[in-house]
Structure 1
Amino acid sequence: MTTKKIDMGMFKGIVCGSRHLSHAEFERDIRKTASGFKALGVEPGDCVGIFMRNDIPFLLASHAANHVGAYPVPINWHLAGEELTYILDDCAAKVLVIHADLYRGIEAAIPEGVTCVLVETHEDLRQAYGLGRDACTVPKGLINWDQWLESLPVLEQPPIEGPSSMLYTSGTTGHPKGVRRKPLDAQMAARLRDFRSRFFGCTPGARCAVPGPLYHSAPNSFSMQASRISDLLVIIPRFDAEDMLRQIQEYRLTAALMVPIMFIRMLKLSDEVRARYDLSTLEFIVHTAAPCPIDVKRRMIEWFGPVINEFYGSTESSAVVACNSEQALTKPGSVGTVVPEAEIRILDEQGNIQPPNTIGEIYTRFPLLNFTYNGNPQARAEIEKDGFITSGDVGYIDEDGFLFIADRVKDMVISGGVNIYPAEIESVLHSYPGIKDCAVFGIPDEEFGESIMAVVEAEAGNEICVGDVKTYLRQHLAGFKVPRMIEVGDKLPREDSGKIFKRRLRDKYWQQVDRKI
């Protein structure tokens, strides 16, 4: 690993905090890890679990599993107990690569027969998460990643063309499902790399950063691509708004994958702080994972320039719709137009294709990737119509071919027989002065079945008057869409991706009734 003083703006390789690996060192360690996996009995088609925060060994383990024809299975490190056990059992993981501090918390949940390789939680992560040193060391008697890696030979066997990462869906209803992609041949793999280069901005020669969690689909795909073909990949252990600007300047970054909450936090920096950093090297910032408020996107384009891009897709479908800065300003609120490699349909409940500007469920097809749910092909069949699949989003395509997302089917509220889409209400709330963020969902109602509830988070130093908010909403929405209850909260619960954990807010209202809708 490189330790000598280097010009960060010229360095080529993989970076995480204070650690820098050249591409040659990174490739060497991938092949050493691959030989270690083979020695532990990992064979083509097997699974290697990865339970880690953002770190270099995360990507080494992922690439090494692919090298021997196995599936790396990134797992949300916030999971615990039965959630983790279920995934490891479901994918029949042979090996689990895990940070030492995380192992101490979930050791009892790891099924018998899974070989654990423990990675000492590096100081870069200890500082980012405020962790104590003792909890971050590898206990004696267990496989220590650093010692294990040092002892391994470089695997000379060429990589097996085949599987990519197998990611598990969030499991908002029932158990999570593993998206198991069918292996690609060399030609299809090359086409997919070209596609991701164009829509991620992680091209050959690019200097990239990934501040989002590597266990999520988009950051995982982005980092796997950038770490192999781009000049530089900076893995950020934990996002910090000003530190992101510092790294853009220091490493002369050209590309990054972000989520809207990161934009919101950067926009809150003072003009003085923003002016300290040179962002002129940026060429392609792409965001995904959650809706971006129209005003936030406009302000980011004004600040960063016309380098802000968006794509829409899912773990199952990949990116199927894309939107650049010019399109975002021309069609505010749209996620863009369908990419050349994909197809999209808007269907009603009977499966009929909807005309322009008519809301229906969004179905997509992306022939470059084919998948099944691990051990559950029936679940794959349930979301498919005529070769098109749905992730449960509803929306419409306008007369110019631009897709607008209305909401998710599961988030839709049916009140008195009327369909209400919370995302529409949230969009209006985002524009109310003093509201930092919000979540709208349905709660039980004896008369109407469900009624609308909103929880809003106030900007620091602002007081929100619920009556004034309702008056504002009535000026912009039909009366039946105005929440009957509005609660002002301190901090909305979030996933690392920036998505709000609506289930945590919603569930407490449904616990006392014998139904869920």
Structure 2
Amino acid sequence: MRLAEHVPPDKPAVVLHPSGTVVTFADLDARANRIAHLLRGHGVGPGDTVAILIDNNPHVHAVMWAARRSGCYYTLINSGLTAAEVAYIVADCNARALFASASVRQVCAELPDHLPGGLPQLTVIAEAELDGWLRYPDCVAGQPVSPVDCGEEGDLLQYSSGSTGRPKGIRRPRGGRRPATGARGTTPVFELVGVTEDSVYLSPAPLYHTAPAMWTMCAQSVGATTVVMQRFDAEQALECIQRYRVTHAQFVPTMFVKMLRLPENTRRAYDLSSLRRVVHASAPCPPDIKREMIDWWGPIIDEYYSSSEGAGITFIRAEEWLTRPGSVGRPILGTPHILDEFGAELPPGEVGDIYFDGGYPFAYLNDEAKTRAARSPQGWVTVGDVGYLDEDGYLYLTDRRHHMIISGGVNIYPQEIENALLSHPLVVDAAVFGVPDEVMGQSVKAVVQLTDPLLAEGERADAMADELLTWLRARLARYKCPRSISFEDELPRTDAGKLNKQPLIAKYSAALR
């Protein structure tokens, strides 16, 4: 069965930007089937895991579809990891096959040094030479383009970002469906935003993250064209929307900030009228930033809250959000519960740990203890987020539990402070965290990235810090305001937009010793 059978074979399935490379639906279908036969010929079949170490290039979707059609789990690995980090994931998921791109050739060459058990039985690298590895696409030249015979389609086995420790695999039972035309049932949000065959979907983030991988495959399954940015750039995103008449897109809040900080004449130079709905997720969006985006693009910016685990999903349309700013919506998968530290359910308006029941079943691969720890006595599941429900069942995020600062016995949630900092027109990014304090236990520290790095030099840095503190004191209770503000040229965020505070905490805590 062909991918999106009703779609003309020569219609673009993937367009890469800025290279302009096009993969048609016929090409994608044939490539996926050839790779599936390659897997089968090397003994890789249903229930096995295929590791994919590929950047945003013309080959990544073919490998994902091949694994799915073969009944395999497929594990997407960040192409920016070191050989040791890649080896950990390859070994942990017991990959039977590994596909890589030429950009990570050196990492692949170093992998054997970090894999005592040896490389997977099938190793393939695209458009590069490496001893012991098959070269793609040469290695599939003789393979048939007909589908493989597989009784049950595969699924994504994604790894968490690992910002608080080593990444963990998130494994769901395969759904029991036969391989067919799409990744059905993977994201209820997709149908709510109305992506159809005539849509053009923009994916600006790396495809080794959960949402970009799943959403682009969903777009292809309904016959929509997917425009994939090879690397995010704020102005290039606007260029993509105008050039390809993009109708739908998914962003993370840091991308919004970067687009908003473009010069006004640059922002207004592009025709964005083709946009129908845009969604954002991955990290909380400061309300002031979202209002600015709605003022610019109109009330088409929807939001959903979920996780790689799929414990639950909430959704809110832009029109709703304007009446409930800061909410991430009401549930469309699972039922949320707010629990206190003793496991008792809290009433509306009270902050606690967010749990869901009725989401997708999953387990952390090779870690029964972590799987158990994520569940309440009632069997509900948490991924470590903190928030509250209002009287009408709308969910609001406060922060992540491990981000919370306890200063003088008072709980302080950094997200609120970060949101206030990001609303300042000279701030591009902000991180707030606790550092050791002999009297208070912890004190509040802020680190900021400015639109102009020169503002953070010499005496201007002191003046800028004072300006930001004044800005915060006009918006927050005094006890929430940072004791000090420092500046960095760039903050450590993942490509999915999640802030990794650990290097900053280590750096600024060490400075106090």
Fold match by TM threshold 0.5 = yes
Aligned residues: 487
Corresponding residue of 2:4:
none
Corresponding residue of 1:474:
473
For residues 102-141 of structure 1, the C-alpha deviation after alignment (integer angstroms, 9 at most, x for no partner) is: 1213422343132321113xxxxxxxxxxxxxxxx43466
1:456 Cα deviation after fit: 1.3
For residues 446-473 of structure 1, the C-alpha deviation after alignment (integer angstroms, 9 at most, x for no partner) is: 2222211111122226455323333333
For residues 320-356 of structure 1, the C-alpha deviation after alignment (integer angstroms, 9 at most, x for no partner) is: 11111112211111111211x3211111111111111
Q: Is the counterpart of residue 148 in structure 1 residue 139 in structure 2? A: yes
Corresponding residue of 1:14:
14
Residues in 2 aligned to 1:198 and 1:415: alpha-carbon distance in whole angstroms? 44
Letter in 2 for 1:372: A
Gaps of 5+ in 1: 1-9, 121-136
Letter in 2 for 1:335: V
- Secondary structure, aligned partner of 2:216: helix
1:237 Cα deviation after fit: 0.7
1:219 Cα deviation after fit: 1.0
Corresponding residue of 1:51:
53
Corresponding residue of 1:170:
161
Residues in 2 aligned to 1:373 and 1:80: alpha-carbon distance in whole angstroms? 23
Q: Is the counterpart of residue 86 in structure 1 residue 88 in structure 2? A: yes
Q: 2:261 aligns with which of 263, 268, 278?
A: 268
Residues in 1 aligned to 2:252 and 2:174: alpha-carbon distance in whole angstroms? 29
Corresponding residue of 1:5:
none
For residues 199-228 of structure 1, the C-alpha deviation after alignment (integer angstroms, 9 at most, x for no partner) is: 464334322121111111111111121122
Residues in 1 aligned to 2:512 and 2:242: alpha-carbon distance in whole angstroms? 54
Residues in 2 aligned to 1:85 and 1:384: alpha-carbon distance in whole angstroms? 29
Q: Is the counterpart of residue 113 in structure 1 residue 113 in structure 2? A: no
RMSD: 2.4
Q: Is the counterpart of residue 95 in structure 1 residue 86 in structure 2? A: no
Corresponding residue of 2:7:
none
Taking a change above 3 Å as real, the CA distance of residues 512 and 163 of structure 1, as seen in their structure-2 partners, is farther
Q: 1:157 aligns with which of 138, 148, 160?
A: 148
- Secondary structure, aligned partner of 2:59: helix
1:297 Cα deviation after fit: 1.1
1:250 Cα deviation after fit: 2.2
- Secondary structure, aligned partner of 1:361: strand
1:411 Cα deviation after fit: 0.3
Residues in 2 aligned to 1:82 and 1:68: alpha-carbon distance in whole angstroms? 28
Taking a change above 3 Å as real, the CA distance of residues 78 and 330 of structure 1, as seen in their structure-2 partners, is same
Letter in 2 for 1:456: V
Taking a change above 3 Å as real, the CA distance of residues 63 and 318 of structure 1, as seen in their structure-2 partners, is farther
1:437 Cα deviation after fit: 1.9
Residues in 2 aligned to 1:468 and 1:424: alpha-carbon distance in whole angstroms? 18
Q: Is the counterpart of residue 335 in structure 1 residue 328 in structure 2? A: yes
Residues in 1 aligned to 2:225 and 2:388: alpha-carbon distance in whole angstroms? 38
Whether the 8 Å CA contact 1:227–1:233 is kept in 2: the answer is yes
Whether the 8 Å CA contact 1:211–1:235 is kept in 2: the answer is yes
Corresponding residue of 2:3:
none
- Secondary structure, aligned partner of 1:354: coil
1:74 Cα deviation after fit: 0.1
1:319 Cα deviation after fit: 5.7
Whether the 8 Å CA contact 2:111–2:119 is kept in 1: the answer is no
Taking a change above 3 Å as real, the CA distance of residues 434 and 278 of structure 1, as seen in their structure-2 partners, is closer
Corresponding residue of 1:224:
217
> Which moved further from structure 2: 41-50 or 428-437?
428-437
Residues in 1 aligned to 2:85 and 2:278: alpha-carbon distance in whole angstroms? 33
Percent identity over the alignment? Answer: 38
Corresponding residue of 1:400:
392
| TM-score scaled by length of structure 1 | 0.88
1:246 Cα deviation after fit: 2.1
Taking a change above 3 Å as real, the CA distance of residues 473 and 245 of structure 1, as seen in their structure-2 partners, is closer
1:508 Cα deviation after fit: 2.3
Corresponding residue of 2:365:
374
Gaps of 5+ in 2: 1-9
Q: Is the counterpart of residue 209 in structure 1 residue 202 in structure 2? A: yes
For residues 7-26 of structure 1, the C-alpha deviation after alignment (integer angstroms, 9 at most, x for no partner) is: xxx94422223221221221
Q: 2:355 aligns with which of 363, 376, 397?
A: 363
Q: Is the counterpart of residue 436 in structure 1 residue 442 in structure 2? A: no
1:318 Cα deviation after fit: 5.8
Whether the 8 Å CA contact 1:208–1:230 is kept in 2: the answer is no
Corresponding residue of 1:133:
none
Taking a change above 3 Å as real, the CA distance of residues 191 and 352 of structure 1, as seen in their structure-2 partners, is farther
- Secondary structure, aligned partner of 1:476: coil
Corresponding residue of 1:27:
29
1:423 Cα deviation after fit: 0.8
Letter in 2 for 1:344: P
Letter in 1 for 2:94: A
1:185 Cα deviation after fit: 2.8
> Which moved further from structure 2: 472-481 or 440-449?
472-481
* Matched ranges for 1:121-200 at <5 A: 137-139=128-130, 142-186=133-177, 192=185, 195-199=188-192
Q: Is the counterpart of residue 244 in structure 1 residue 237 in structure 2? A: yes
